[in-house]
Homo-oligomer: A and B are copies of this chain.
Amino acid sequence: MQSNMILIPIALAILGLLFMLIKMSWVKKQSPGSEKMQQISKSIKEGALAFLSAEYKLLLIFVLIASIALFGISMFVETTSWMIVPAFVIGAIFSALAGNIGMRIATEANARTAEAAKTSLPQALKVSFGGGTVMGLGVAGLAVLGLSLFFLFFTNHFMSSTGDFYGNMTIVLEALAGFSLGAESIALFARVGGGIYTKAADVGADLVGKVEAGIPEDDPRNPATIADNVGDNVGDVAGMGADLFGSYVATVLAAMVLGNYVIRDMSATTQFTDDFNNMGPILLPIVIAGVGILASIIGTFLVSIKNNDAKEAQVQRALDIGNWGAILITVIASYFLIQYMLPETMQMNFFGEGSKTIPSMNVFYSCIIGLAVGALISMVTAHYTSLGKKPVLDIVKNSSTGAATNIIAGLAVGMKSTFLSVLLFAAAIYGSYELAGFYGVALAASAMMATTAMQLAIDAFGPIADNAGGVAEMSNLEDHVRERTDILDSVGNTTAAVGKGFAIASAALTALALFAAYVTFTGIDGINIFKADVLAALFVGGMIPVVFSALAMKSVGKAAMEMVQEVRRQFREIPGILEGTGTPEYAKCVDISTKAALKEMILPGLITIISPILIGAFFGAEPLGGYMAGVCVSGVMWAIFQNNAGGAWDNAKKSFEAGVEIDGKMTFKGSEAHKAAVTGDTVGDPFKDTSGPSMNILIKLTCLIGLVIAPILGGHHSDAELSPNQVIESIEALNVANFEVEISVIEDKATATVLYVKDGKSFKETYAGSETSVRADIEKLKNSLK
């Protein structure tokens, strides 16, 4: 049993997928409503599927090229097996599949939710949350299944009882990184493409429909309506599904890699052994992930309301109970799992501080720090973006003097929200590292991500409810249906904001864990920004998220303009369209969004993927580390800034729907202040749904690429480090890889550092004394290695 511990997550993943199938068939069994509703639902589904299949075709080319490149790497790098290629391809396919499952169920659930809302709010919640549950379990199940099956397969293939454990495990994890790379690359394109699609349609539909023609949201007379609803599915659902799939895999992978370093550190004196095939610290994160699926399933049962007259607060509480229930179960399980699977104390090397003895409970405390900081960051996010709180009210107040002051206020809110978020985040890094090194950091992230299934269920039910409202509006259902779906939608907006707090915190911690794995893997002496090339790379890295965001926003602006022109044209040219007698050409608008999204997602995607490769290839491992850090620092700021500014603008606009008091006067929809708030919301749209959420993927993907290409950077690193009085020794005669000597002589003292890799382990020897004695020492070492 213990030695087959990997079977546990496999079993739990399968359980999750089975439960998903049950839930899926339950949702499909619900009444899909009138023919008109089915028709609308079908149009949305077809538009979304058409986009996804066009997207996948384009991504096929990317996967092909990347596979060839990875195969090339695996050919001339010892620690990379060619099996990274199938792992990469399957990762990409699973990621697409995760998005696809979510999208299909969401487009099935929308009309069914509207239909259920005809009779009861509890039932509408059940259907929409059921749809979310399918998606959440699909993502989590596929992620854990893929990771653990590949891990099982790779360990059987590469690990031998005789060979060097650390070296072989490195090959296993490097191949497994391919799975994560595939998932995260697809996630990037899906997020950016979906984000451009949805916001081009949304902004375009709003600008002409709401503002110019004065017709309500989701009105069937608006030619961009279907595109708008398709957008919700390809952006908020499929994009988010692929995104979280990628995050989840990357987080678990990073923790596994760092677990391998723990084993290496502990094997420095005597070979590490435990009851789990000697790989307890590596297996722990994936077992926790598996348990998180089970906890999420239990959590979904806790989500229900009884009262048909329930308001936002009750729905919110139902979701909170489910969410925190799942988290609590996971925490308790983690406590026992950590006690069970980790040795009581562990030896870890702390950079610059030598080896420390760490009690395994420190790892648990790191998890708690992760969860606490995640929850606190979510609270900060909620504070800055919620209706009725000071920041949003501030924006509302500033709307009374026009769009300009509304925008200034919104930007300021987004920027200001970085303060507490970043302090908390810095505290999480510091605290979890102090407790258990970068393994602690990785497990803090893993703890945050463990209940991904549940969190995604909560996140995904929002767009389903939103779409249900659209279906209700387009099929002219009674007002109370829309009111009920609006309650669900509104709660969905809040949970989405809270989810974003967890998402960015866990993404950043994961990125740091990957960064740590990268530094350890390359064997470089940390990332020292007192070196000019590293510092320059730090700046270049810091620029990437900014330019990425600019490209995404510009794409949205461009596509929205095209959409506006097209809608205006239809209003002008199709007779009777505004009276409801002419039929708009919905397909043309769908087509514009599709083409724009596919075209515009390429450049930001390629910049993300190619830049780190170029930096690594031309400047070496340490500058690439600086680049990664720059991307992370800047990416975190811009993610928080954009997400929160966008969220705050959105709710400032929504405040006018119920009416708000400005300078003692009640102000409503349709007022000048409301118009200013609509402008702010439109600016915020690409912030919060296109560029903002892409930042998470950007920073993780950057670090993942670094980790995957790390094995080929060793040589460059030595180049970059070479100075006139360094000597590269020929390694041909030696039984090691990458033998580097650095001697520096100051006054009459010489110091020398020798770096070399033997049996997959890197060694560093330091000598000091007179130049003659140091050179003699090095000769002695060389002879011992021949």
Instruction: Compute how far the CA of A411 lies from the CA of B553 in the bound complex, rounded to whole angstroms.
Output: 8
Interface residues of A in 213-262 (CB under 8 A from B): none
Query: Is A159 interfacial (CB-CB < 8 Å)?
Result: no
Known contacts A527-B529, A765-B768; is-contact A427 B629 (Cβ 8 Å): no
**At the interface with chain B, which of A462-470, A533-541, A732-740?**
A533-541
CB distance from A414 to the nearest CB of B (A): 8
A637 and B415 alpha carbons, distance in the complex (Å): 14
Q: How far is the CB of A677 from chain B (nearest CB, A)?
A: 11
Flag if B268 contacts A554 (CB, 8 Å). no
Distance in Å: Cβ of A411 to nearest Cβ of chain B: 6
**Is the C-beta of A751 less than 8 angstroms from some C-beta in chain B?**
yes
Given contacts A536-B430, A725-B354, contact A634 B542 (CB under 8 A): yes
Residues of chain B within 8 A (CB-CB) of A721 are 352-353
With A540-B423, A679-B407: A535-B354 Cβ-Cβ less than 8 Å: no
Nearest neighbor of A512 in chain B, beta-carbon distance:
B535
Number of copies: 2
Q: Is A478 in the interface zone, CB < 8 Å from B?
A: no
A127 interfacial contact with B, CB 8 Å: no
Residue of B nearest to A745 (CB): B354
Interface string of A180-203 (1 = CB under 8 A from B): 000000000000000000000001
A402 is contacted by which of B211, B407, B540 (Cβ under 8 Å)? B211
Give the residues in chain B near A526, CB-CB below 8 Å: 528-531
Within 8 A of B (CB), among A714-735: 721-726
Judge whether A434 is part of the interface by a CB distance below 8 angstroms. Answer: yes
A207 contacts B by Cβ under 8 Å:
yes
Residues on B with C-beta less than 8 A from A667 are none
The interface residues of chain B lying within 8 Å CB-to-CB of A539 are 422, 425-426, 429, 632-633, 636
Q: Taking the nearest CB of chain B, how far is it from the CB of A376, in angstroms? A: 16
Chain B residues near A433 (CB-CB < 8 A): 532-533
Within 8 Å by CB of A553, from B415, B533, B560, B747, lies B415
State in angstroms the CA–CA spacing of A641 and B550 once bound together: 10
Do the beta carbons of A422 and B540 come within 8 Å of each other?
yes
- Which B residue sits closest to A432, measured CB to CB? B532
**Most chain B CB within a 10 A radius of its CB, from A211, A547, A564, A747:** A547
- Interchain CB contact under 8 A, B416 and A554: yes
CB neighbours (8 Å) of A438 from chain B are 532
Interface membership of A408, Cβ < 8 A: yes
Q: How would residues 510 to 531 of chain A score, 1 for a CB under 8 Å from any chain B CB and 0 otherwise? A: 0010001001000000111111
Q: Would B353 and A543 count as touching, CB distance under 8 A?
A: no
CB within 8 A of A404: which of B207, B350, B538, B551? Answer: B207
| Residues on the B chain within 8 Å of A531, using CB | 351-352, 526
The reply to whether A767 and B765 contact each other, CB–CB distance below 8 Å, is no
Could you say which residues of chain B place their CB within 8 Å of the CB of A402?
Answer: 207, 211, 679, 682
Known: A207-B402, A207-B405. A415 touches B528 (CB 8 A): no
A397 and B415 alpha carbons, distance in the complex (Å): 28
A634-B633, A721-B353 as given contacts; A398 in contact with B557, CB under 8 Å: yes
Q: How far is the CB of A448 from chain B (nearest CB, A)?
A: 17
Known: A560-B405, A679-B403. Is A529-B637 also a contact (CB below 8 A)? no
CA distance A512 to B536 in the complex (A): 10
Is A177 an interface residue, CB under 8 A from the partner? no
| Residue pair A415, B546 in contact (C-beta under 8 Å) | yes
> Counting CB contacts under 8 A, is A419 at the interface?
yes
Contact B540 A404 (CB under 8 A): no
Partner among B529, B533, B742, B747 whose Cβ is within 8 Å of the Cβ of A529? B529
Q: Which residues from chain B contact A744 at a C-beta distance below 8 Å?
A: 354-355
List of 5 A-B pairs having minimum Cβ-Cβ separation, nearest first:
A433-B532, A415-B550, A353-B723, A404-B682, A526-B530
Question: Given A430-B532, A512-B535, 5 more contacts at CB 8 Å?
Answer: A409-B554, A414-B550, A430-B533, A529-B626, A542-B636
What are 24 A-B contacts defined by CB distance under 8 Å? A203-B404, A207-B402, A350-B723, A351-B528, A352-B528, A354-B723, A354-B744, A398-B557, A408-B683, A411-B683, A412-B551, A415-B549, A419-B543, A422-B543, A426-B536, A430-B532, A433-B533, A438-B532, A526-B528, A529-B626, A539-B632, A539-B636, A633-B634, A766-B767
